[in-house]
Structure 1
Amino acid sequence: MSVDAVAARLDVETGQGRSLAWWGMVMTILTEGTLFAMLIFVYYYLYSRASEWPLGEIEPPELLIVSIRTALLFASSATMSVADRAIRRGRTGIASVAMVTTFLLGAVFLAGHVEEMLRLPEEFTWATNVYGSLFYVIVNFHGAHLLIGLIFLVFAWMALRRGRYTADSHVGLKVTGMYWHFVDVVWVFVFPTLYLVPHFLAK
């Protein structure tokens, strides 16, 4: 299916004035948000019951690089907001630059995630213990969502460049922004849970 065809389908509106894509994204965010909430709840539940944390005398994950990555990810949320405001004012050039910037910031974050996974000690795997399992599942689950967000950005940017979006009709860009902000908000909870707790609230 071409980029134009995808963009056209996203613009279909329901009788309530909201597009099908908007409602679909809302349901996606609610569903995926619930999954993340459950995983983080399990993490803190096990943390509260454990006599030591991280389990198995595992070294806490490093903080410097992930803190820089976190700043880049939050910056990408700001640039995505710039793109949304720009398209609503009909400034497609600014929207295009802002979306490219968002993509680059997200790509750097994801590259750092991959590099972090490769640097983890060999003895620390998803099968090491329940702490390892939760760390790998949560952080990679978020990474997978970020990758999906990058793909959304590519399609939305291509549609923008082809003139599919205007100040009055830009549903595809709107839902892409919704998803991107969702991924960033999830990281607000993932970062302190997986990286700050093991350092500052270790048992």
Structure 2
Amino acid sequence: YACRNAPGWWALVVSLLIDGSLFASLVFAYFYLWLGTEAWPPAPMHAGADPTAWVALVLLGVCWIAAAASARLMRRGGGRALALPLGVAALAGAGFLWAQWQAVASGTGAPGEHAYASVVWTLAGFHSVHVAVAMLVGLFVAARGQRGYVSAERPLEQRIAAALWAYVAAQGAIAWSVIHLFPEWA
């Protein structure tokens, strides 16, 4: 068996801690700007969880569930079994990117129009980069599983991919709530 918590695992943990602080500062900026503005979001911009936004959230959940299922499937079918769950996560991630872009674009103007638009696009863009990276990592791990480099005996890469998707899903749920739910409560 390979070392359970090899340097790659700790590199992910430290990277996500640093990334989490960057994300927290973006969320803080959103609320700081919200508290200092009379109208949030300003007219004619609108916010809210329209059906496309809910589709995006569901697709993000599918990403997390598929990546989480990859360990169990790998234990049963070996590294070749990673192609299905990590492929599903990548497809759902692509769907999320499209749906989230549609939801944000429908209610937000260009980033230069107002601080609201700027911070919403920054939050959505920051998270979108993470989804894209998780998709690439998952597909890379699936390809390595196909070649026999990832298996139940050597699960580190699968654990990293699944943990990254879990982080991305949690970050996405927070970003989604900030973008689509909190303005309705203002």
Stretch moving more, 145-154 or 81-90: 81-90
Q: Which of residues 151, 166, 169 is equivalent to 2:154? A: 169
Q: Which of residues 122, 144, 166 is equivalent to 2:129? A: 144
Q: Distance in 2 between matches of 1:190 and 1:117?
A: 12
Contact 2:137/2:161 (<8 A) preserved: yes
* Structure 2 residue 14 is matched with structure 1 residue 27: yes
Q: Distance in 2 between matches of 1:37 and 1:76?
A: 22
Aligned length: 186
Structure possessing the higher radius of gyration over alpha carbons: 1
Give TM-score scaled by structure 1 length: 0.82
Corresponding residue SS for 1:141: helix
Compared CA separation, residues 59 and 115, structure 1 to 2 (3 A): closer
Please give the residue correspondences for 1:172-187 in structure 2 after superposition, counting only pairs within 5 Å.
Answer: 172-187=157-172
Contact 1:69/1:109 (<8 A) preserved: yes
Contact 2:52/2:102 (<8 A) preserved: no
* Structure 2 residue 71 is matched with structure 1 residue 87: no
* Structure 2 residue 176 is matched with structure 1 residue 188: no
Residue 39 of structure 1: CA displacement?
Answer: 0.7
Query: Match for 1:80: what amino acid?
Result: A
**TM-align CA RMSD:** 2.2
Other-structure match for 1:8: none
Residue 192 of structure 1: CA displacement?
Answer: 1.2
The one-character-per-residue Cα deviations of 1:33-92 (angstroms, maximum 9, x if unpaired) are 111111101211222232221135422255210111111111221111110222244544
Structure 1 residue runs without a partner (length 5+)? 1-10
Q: Distance in 2 between matches of 1:132 and 1:160?
A: 42
Contact 2:144/2:150 (<8 A) preserved: yes
Other-structure match for 2:185: 201
Other-structure match for 1:97: 84
Structure 2 residue runs without a partner (length 5+)? none
* Structure 2 residue 24 is matched with structure 1 residue 37: yes
* Structure 2 residue 140 is matched with structure 1 residue 155: yes
